[in-house]
Structures are given as C-alpha cells and as structure tokens.
A and B are shown apart, each in its own frame.
Chain A
C-alpha cells in the first residue's frame, strides 16, 4: 500500500508540473505582452525612450524576460570590484548615437554587448530623441540594454526550485554580531520575562524561526516557507500563498515593546520580522525601534484570511449538505415514486437546470425578504451574515448528494444479495441500514476529502454575490489584472488540491470497504 501510494503521489506531482508548464505556455507565450499596460497610467504618461525602458522593466517584473541595462551592468562590475566607482561614473553616460561615444565609453559598451550576446541576449541601443539640435526631448535619453526571453524550462526550473525555501544563517548579506541560531526560553517579544520558548536566528531571513503566540495553532515556524509566486498587481510584491493566508480587516493594536525598549500602541507583529538589507539606516522610525536590519514586520489584523473565510463558509456548507442531503436521499430511495421522492426530484431538476447565478440571486432575494443580511461585512461580528452564503453553497450540494445517494441505493436494492437477505428473513430496516446503505455510501465517501479540501478555494459566484472576502475571486482578479505570478500560483494550488483529494479519497474507500485494494498482492 505504501509503495503504491508513493507511486501515486509521484505521478500526481508529475502531472502538476505538466499543468504548471501548460499554464506558463498559455500565459507567457500566447497572451499579448502589451496587454499588461492597458490600464497602466505610468506607461501612458511616459514618452519616447523612457517608455521603452519602462516597458522592458515591467516585462521583467511580470516574468516575461530577463532584462539588464548598461548602467546595471556597470554597477555589477563595480560591486564585484572589476572597476572602481570613478570609472563607473565616467563611463555610465553613453552618447546620443553610437558614433558619439567617447573612447572609454565605447570600450565598455563593446564589453557589455559581447558579454550579453555570448549569453544569448539581444542587445538593443536606442538613440536619443532630439527636440532640436541641442536639446533632448522629454524622456528621450539614449538607452542601451540587453534582454532575453526566458525559456519554458528555465522558467519552470526557477519556479519549482523556489517553491519551498529553508531558511539558513547565510541568507543575510551583512549582519550585526555573529551568525547563528539561539534558543531562548523567554521570548523577547513578551518582554523577556514571560516563559515562552523561541528560536531566534541571526543571519537568517526571518528573525523568529520558531515561536509561540495566542493565535491558532499557537506554535509557529518560519524555517520552511512556501512561495507560490510573487504577485505584481493583485497584491504587489507579496507571495500568492501569503495573499491567500494573510489575515485581513482592520488593525489590531496592542502595546508592543520594540527591541530598543520603546513601547507603543501598534499592530506590528514582531514575530514576523524579516531581513531587509541596510534598512535600519534608511529611516529614523526604524532606528527608534529596531537594533538590527530585521525591520520588515507584518501587521496584526482582526479578520480571517481569504482562504480562512472561504474555508469556514465552505466547510459549514458541506457539513450542512451531508447532514441534510444524505438522509433526504435515503428517504427518497426508500419511498421511491411517492410524494417525497417526486418533490425531491423536482428540486434536483431545478438545481441542475437553472443557471447557478439565477438560483443564488433567488436565495439572496428570499433571504433578504426574511431579514437576513445579504452582504458580508468583515468588521462586523454578527454571525447571521454567514447564513446566506452557507445556505446558498449548501443547497446545490444537497441536490447533488440527494441525486447520487438515491441512485446508488436504488441500484443496490435490485441486486441479488438484497433478495437473498430478504429470503433469509432479515427485516426491511435491517437490510436497508446494514447492507444497502453501507454499499451505497462507498462512492459518496470517496468524495469527502475533495469536498473538505476544495472548501478552501471558495466559490466564485457565491462570494461575488454576497461580497465575501474569500479566495474564490483570486484567479479571476489575477486574470483581469494580468498578474502572471498569481495565475500560476493559484493553478498550482488547485492542481495540488485535486491530486491530494483523489489520493485521500482512494485511501478512505480502502479503509471503509475491505474489498477494495490497490495493491496486486492483496487482491
């Protein structure tokens, strides 16, 4: 069984890689790159050559190309010590056209071109745009840069190699004090007096590698982080995984003691501190509060995350659906062709045939008439606002459960073993609960892990109609804003859920039904 499961998991992971590759081909090769500038005000205000540079740098941000300007190249040479600062500043300005370059500049321009052409880049030089003989037009400075389209393989490799990162003490470039990991029983965030074990790193990306706090699941770690891809427009610079799991809503302020001893009412969560190179020196605000470069902290917010909202609503809706749908389906099968069965069938037809949108609006209108809140408000603590989204999600699930349970039960009722049991003298009730129900439940059990896991992804229409701040709209939002990182990340997340839920479903039915086995040995 274990061997079989490992095989299945590996197979699943392989198909996930292919799915991600297909999605990457779709969004990076098939889609027009210029579309990302459609709603970009900066782009439409820029002129001439600076517009061109902006275009290429944005493409690099969105992951289409690798892009290096001549100035960047010189900076790189300076930091590696090949040339000194003086040479750099003397050769950084290129001439208006190629033949107006000075001798020295020409040398470095040639070096730049040779270096990047040999690495497969395309080197492009745009001459200055002149207003008149002397004056350069707005944004018309001459530009020299190299770019390369990323290949699918290198893109896939760089994406998958970054998904799971393990923090190490050599992450930070410059650190105060010695690199290393210290273990303390008294977490300094709580003033260093309260007993609360923590592991603190110096030189790592995260300052707190392991800590306890009052939030579920109480123990948190930052050693292994998951990166599904960085967002550019939906949630700038933030990873997709964080976008989905970070709490939302208004700030929760509490008295925070900063490393310098300063106490302040703030929403900063010091446990999330990450390293930003040289940040301490850049602002007085940081200098007042922090002792080192671990200044980037996220804030505490009052509400659940996107996935949190979707999951709470989704899981409650599924529970409701199983508690209502399964008994109803059983009763329908028991009283086949009677009144209840007919009403149930009409309901099932209604749910299947009527567009989802139509009945969700119908539920909303009915709910509104009954006085239930029809829009979701993150800040309010009213539990009633959960009712309509949950019911709207549960009603179609109930219909589908009713349909399948009824179908499977009726199929089982006509089998020989039921007739045998009846001739053996078992009561109808016994046959129903002990034999038919058990057999009919097997295909239903297979779907349970999927129901639970996919509760996290949220429902597009329900969340839109009731304004739930959940994860359902993330993909559509990302597509609408051409946020490639988010599209790939969300696809990977969905594909992973599918693979895991099918495997878990298979495991579950082998546990429920001893006749089913996936290994040839047991058969």
Chain B
C-alpha cells in the first residue's frame, strides 16, 4: 500500500477513510465469536484463585499417592525386630533414624514409617474411589436416564429400587468378601453391585422433570429411539448435576472404605481404612495418638479437596455462570 501525504489534501489522521472492496470469499464466512462449552467451564473455574490452590493440593496428593510409592522403598515389617523403633512420635523418629521424609510422621506399631504407609494406603483408597465412581456414575447415569424416560421401565425399576434399597448394604459387602476374598476388585464389586441404584434414582427424578418438554416430544414424534433421546437430548442438560453427583460420590467411597475398614470388613491390603482400623488402639494410648491421627487427617484432606474441587467444577459447568 502506498503512503499518501495527508497534508496534501488538507486532512487530519482521524478523517481518513480507506476503501474496502467487496470480497466474495469473506462473505461466505459466518463471523460469530467461537464458543466452546468446556472452554467456558474452565475459564469460569480458573477465575477463582481458591480453585487453583485446591487443584495444586490435589495434584500434590495424587503425586504422593501415585508417584512417590514408585521411588520409596516401603517394607512394613522392616523394623519389626527393633523394639525401640515402634510407636515413635515424629521428633523421636527423626532423632533415631536421622532426618528424612519417611520419618516426619513418626512410626507405627511394627516400626514402619507412618508417612509411607499413608501414601501406599492412599493409592489403594483413591484408586478404589475412582474406579467405583466411574463404574457407578456410568451405569447410574445411563440407567437413570432410561428409567426416567420410559414409564414402563419406571414401574418395574421403582419396585426393584424399593426392595434392593432395603437389603442391608453391609450384608452385601460381608457376603461378597466371604465368597470371594477381601481383595481390591471384590470391594469394587461390592460397592458397585447396588451402588449405582441410588445414583440412577437421583438421575431419574431429574429426567422426569425435563422429559415432557416440547423438544423431547417433537423428538419422539420424529421417531428418535429412546436411547438416543436419553443420551443426546437429556444428558447434556444435566452435566452440572452429574458433576455435582461425582463430587459427592467419589469422596464418599473413600469414607465408605474407611468405614468398612474400621468395622473389620474392608480390604486385606493396607488401605487408609485398614490403617485407621489397625491404629485405633493407638488413639487412646498417650503418646501414640500421632499414628492414629495422621491417616485420619490425610483421609479427610483428600476427601475435602476432592469434594470442594468437584463442587466448584459443578458450579462452573452450569452455563448460567458463564456470563
């Protein structure tokens, strides 16, 4: 573009117009701002400083639970014969073994490092919660959508729900643990075999609320199959509800595992629940409280962080907050 001396025409900079030619190609493009749902979700989510802080804590927890055990050598019975290594407070343990990250939470009943035990246990507990969460939410959401949408299935499923909700949950867990062994996958089976019903019931209620809107009626008239309506028309409406559910469910599986461990029906592996169960007697012994409270506090931190991150993500996934 050649430069024109403006003074030549007696014009100032502001008054300058330039001619734009008609472009056939540009007129074919629709120029609306690009909108991506998940981008907006994360934009809203990261707007809060608290969420960034919580996410970093979560990342730290996950790193300790999943990466730390790869490098740490943990042998529960390594110090078994050393009577002076058992039930040490953090300061006593550091004094005895020298300062290292293993001893900052003291030692347990077998002279093992509480810190290592907690992270090995957390790995099992978090994995269990995640696996159960994924299975229960997937089955629960799909079944709930179908259940809410079809009136015939609704009648049958209400009966099933009323009956199965009354079979004591502890009994199912206990029997499965007895039939199979108390391994990781047994507990997954025990937690998912009826666990999805509650989620499905919750989703069903939500679906019933929106199933009779006009666009669904239209969709039915056009002959869309039931499954497709459930998956395409209804589920996207409920993203924030589902994220809220995930935020409450996943920490609740960790709590559940801790509870089952405490009543002696949990895993045989050293999960957080079993750790708390075995350290229970230490709680009432003066000077030993630390080995009980450390796993309890870590379990609480994990569940609280998971819950709050999930809730805030659910808030962010509600399109009404995207303004």
Q: Which positions in A face B, CB cutoff 8 Å? A: 15-16, 18-19, 22-23, 26-27, 30-32, 35, 349-350, 352-359, 361, 460-461, 464, 475-476, 479-480, 487, 490-491, 494-495, 498
- Asked if B304 and A356 sit within 8 Å, CB to CB, the answer is no
- Asked if A498 and B166 sit within 8 Å, CB to CB, the answer is yes
- Known contacts A352-B307, A498-B166; 7 additional CB pairs below 8 A are A19-B166, A26-B167, A355-B258, A361-B296, A460-B263, A464-B262, A479-B265
Which residues of chain B are near A22, meaning CB under 8 Å?
A: 163-164, 167
Tell which of A26, A490, A495 touches B172, judged by Cβ atoms closer than 8 Å.
A26
A196 to chain B minimum Cβ distance, whole angstroms, is 43
> In the complex the two chains form, what is the Cα distance from A192 to B141 in whole Å?
70
- Asked if B300 and A479 sit within 8 Å, CB to CB, the answer is no
Q: A349 with B307: in contact, given A31-B178, A358-B299 (CB under 8 Å)?
A: yes
Which residues of chain A are near B306, meaning CB under 8 Å?
A: 353
> In the complex the two chains form, what is the Cα distance from A464 to B276 in whole Å?
14
What number of A-B contacts does a CB cutoff of 8 Å give? 101
Q: Which residue of A lies closest to B178 (CB)?
A: A31
A13 to chain B minimum Cβ distance, whole angstroms, is 12
- Asked if A357 and B262 sit within 8 Å, CB to CB, the answer is yes
Q: Which residue of A lies closest to B159 (CB)?
A: A15
- Asked if B296 and A357 sit within 8 Å, CB to CB, the answer is yes
- Asked if B170 and A19 sit within 8 Å, CB to CB, the answer is no
What are 10 A-B interface contacts by the 8 Å CB criterion? A15-B159, A16-B166, A355-B300, A356-B255, A357-B296, A358-B297, A361-B292, A476-B170, A476-B265, A479-B174
- Asked if A35 and B178 sit within 8 Å, CB to CB, the answer is yes
Which residues of chain B are near A32, meaning CB under 8 Å?
A: 178-179
Which residues of chain A are near B258, meaning CB under 8 Å?
A: 355, 357-358
- Asked if A30 and B175 sit within 8 Å, CB to CB, the answer is yes
Contact with A along B247-258 (1 / 0, CB 8 A): 010010011001
**Which B157-182 residues sit within 8 Å CB-CB of chain A?**
159, 162-168, 170-172, 174-175, 178-179
A453 to chain B minimum Cβ distance, whole angstroms, is 14
- Asked if A18 and B163 sit within 8 Å, CB to CB, the answer is yes
Q: Which residue of B lies closest to A480 (CB)?
A: B264
- Asked if B166 and A361 sit within 8 Å, CB to CB, the answer is no
Q: A353 with B251: in contact, given A19-B163, A23-B167, A494-B168 (CB under 8 Å)?
A: yes
A35 to chain B minimum Cβ distance, whole angstroms, is 6
Which of A19, A355, A361, A487 has its CB near the most chain B CB atoms (within 10 A)?
A355
Q: A358 with B168: in contact, given A32-B178, A349-B307 (CB under 8 Å)?
A: no
The answer to whether the Cβ of B227 comes within 8 Å of any Cβ in the partner chain is no
> In the complex the two chains form, what is the Cα distance from A350 to B301 in whole Å?
10
Which residues of chain A are near B241, meaning CB under 8 Å?
A: none
Q: Which residue of B lies closest to A479 (CB)?
A: B174
Q: A352 with B248: in contact, given A357-B258, A475-B170, A476-B170 (CB under 8 Å)?
A: yes
- Asked if A357 and B162 sit within 8 Å, CB to CB, the answer is no
Q: Which positions in B face A, CB cutoff 8 Å? A: 159, 162-168, 170-172, 174-175, 178-179, 248, 251, 254-255, 258-259, 262-265, 276, 283, 292, 296-297, 299-300, 303-304, 306-308, 311
Which residues of chain A are near B307, meaning CB under 8 Å?
A: 349, 352-353
6 nearest A-B residue pairs (beta carbon): A353-B307, A355-B255, A495-B166, A353-B304, A479-B174, A354-B300
> In the complex the two chains form, what is the Cα distance from A461 to B261 in whole Å?
12
Which residues of chain B are near A15, meaning CB under 8 Å?
A: 159, 162-163, 166
> In the complex the two chains form, what is the Cα distance from A27 to B304 in whole Å?
37
B322 to chain A minimum Cβ distance, whole angstroms, is 20
A181 to chain B minimum Cβ distance, whole angstroms, is 39
- Asked if A494 and B166 sit within 8 Å, CB to CB, the answer is yes
Q: Which residue of B lies closest to A26 (CB)?
A: B175
Which residues of chain B are near A358, meaning CB under 8 Å?
A: 258, 296-297, 299-300
Which residues of chain B are near A494, meaning CB under 8 Å?
A: 166, 168
> In the complex the two chains form, what is the Cα distance from A15 to B283 in whole Å?
43
> In the complex the two chains form, what is the Cα distance from A26 to B308 in whole Å?
38
Which residues of chain A are near B171, meaning CB under 8 Å?
A: 23, 26-27, 475, 479, 487, 491
Q: A355 with B303: in contact, given A15-B159, A476-B170, A491-B167 (CB under 8 Å)?
A: yes
Which of B162, B296, B307 has its CB near the most chain A CB atoms (within 10 A)?
B162
> In the complex the two chains form, what is the Cα distance from A209 to B167 in whole Å?
35
Q: A27 with B175: in contact, given A352-B307, A358-B258 (CB under 8 Å)?
A: yes
Which residues of chain B are near A35, meaning CB under 8 Å?
A: 178
Which residues of chain A are near B311, meaning CB under 8 Å?
A: 349
> In the complex the two chains form, what is the Cα distance from A371 to B159 in whole Å?
50
- Asked if A355 and B254 sit within 8 Å, CB to CB, the answer is yes
Which residues of chain B are near A490, meaning CB under 8 Å?
A: 168
> In the complex the two chains form, what is the Cα distance from A490 to B168 in whole Å?
9
A347 to chain B minimum Cβ distance, whole angstroms, is 12
Q: Which residue of A lies closest to B272 (CB)?
A: A355
- Asked if A361 and B283 sit within 8 Å, CB to CB, the answer is yes
Which residues of chain B are near A495, meaning CB under 8 Å?
A: 166
Which residues of chain A are near B276, meaning CB under 8 Å?
A: 357
- Asked if B170 and A31 sit within 8 Å, CB to CB, the answer is no
Q: Which residue of A lies closest to B264 (CB)?
A: A480
B54 to chain A minimum Cβ distance, whole angstroms, is 12
- Asked if A461 and B262 sit within 8 Å, CB to CB, the answer is yes
Which residues of chain B are near A460, meaning CB under 8 Å?
A: 259, 263
Which residues of chain B are near A361, meaning CB under 8 Å?
A: 283, 292, 296
> In the complex the two chains form, what is the Cα distance from A15 to B158 in whole Å?
11
> In the complex the two chains form, what is the Cα distance from A484 to B300 in whole Å?
36
Tell which of A23, A354, A461 touches B303, judged by Cβ atoms closer than 8 Å.
A354
> In the complex the two chains form, what is the Cα distance from A15 to B172 in whole Å?
18
Q: A353 with B170: in contact, given A27-B175, A32-B179, A480-B264 (CB under 8 Å)?
A: no
> In the complex the two chains form, what is the Cα distance from A357 to B274 in whole Å?
12
- Asked if A31 and B304 sit within 8 Å, CB to CB, the answer is no
Q: Which residue of B lies closest to A17 (CB)?
A: B163
- Asked if B179 and A354 sit within 8 Å, CB to CB, the answer is no
Q: Which residue of A lies closest to B251 (CB)?
A: A353
Which residues of chain A are near B263, meaning CB under 8 Å?
A: 460, 464, 476
Which residues of chain A are near B292, meaning CB under 8 Å?
A: 361
> In the complex the two chains form, what is the Cα distance from A275 to B306 in whole Å?
61
- Asked if A353 and B296 sit within 8 Å, CB to CB, the answer is no
> In the complex the two chains form, what is the Cα distance from A31 to B180 in whole Å?
10
Which of B174, B276, B296, B307 has its CB near the most chain A CB atoms (within 10 A)?
B174
- Asked if B168 and A491 sit within 8 Å, CB to CB, the answer is yes
> In the complex the two chains form, what is the Cα distance from A366 to B178 in whole Å?
37
> In the complex the two chains form, what is the Cα distance from A494 to B248 in whole Å?
26
- Asked if A353 and B166 sit within 8 Å, CB to CB, the answer is no
B320 to chain A minimum Cβ distance, whole angstroms, is 13
- Asked if A350 and B304 sit within 8 Å, CB to CB, the answer is yes
A479 to chain B minimum Cβ distance, whole angstroms, is 4
Q: Which residue of A lies closest to B298 (CB)?
A: A358
- Asked if A31 and B175 sit within 8 Å, CB to CB, the answer is yes
B39 to chain A minimum Cβ distance, whole angstroms, is 28
Which residues of chain B are near A18, meaning CB under 8 Å?
A: 163
Which residues of chain A are near B297, meaning CB under 8 Å?
A: 358
> In the complex the two chains form, what is the Cα distance from A352 to B165 in whole Å?
21
> In the complex the two chains form, what is the Cα distance from A359 to B254 in whole Å?
14
Which residues of chain B are near A16, meaning CB under 8 Å?
A: 166
B133 to chain A minimum Cβ distance, whole angstroms, is 14
Which residues of chain A are near B303, meaning CB under 8 Å?
A: 353-355
Which residues of chain B are near A27, meaning CB under 8 Å?
A: 171, 175
> In the complex the two chains form, what is the Cα distance from A355 to B121 in whole Å?
15
Q: A355 with B168: in contact, given A22-B163, A32-B178, A35-B178 (CB under 8 Å)?
A: no
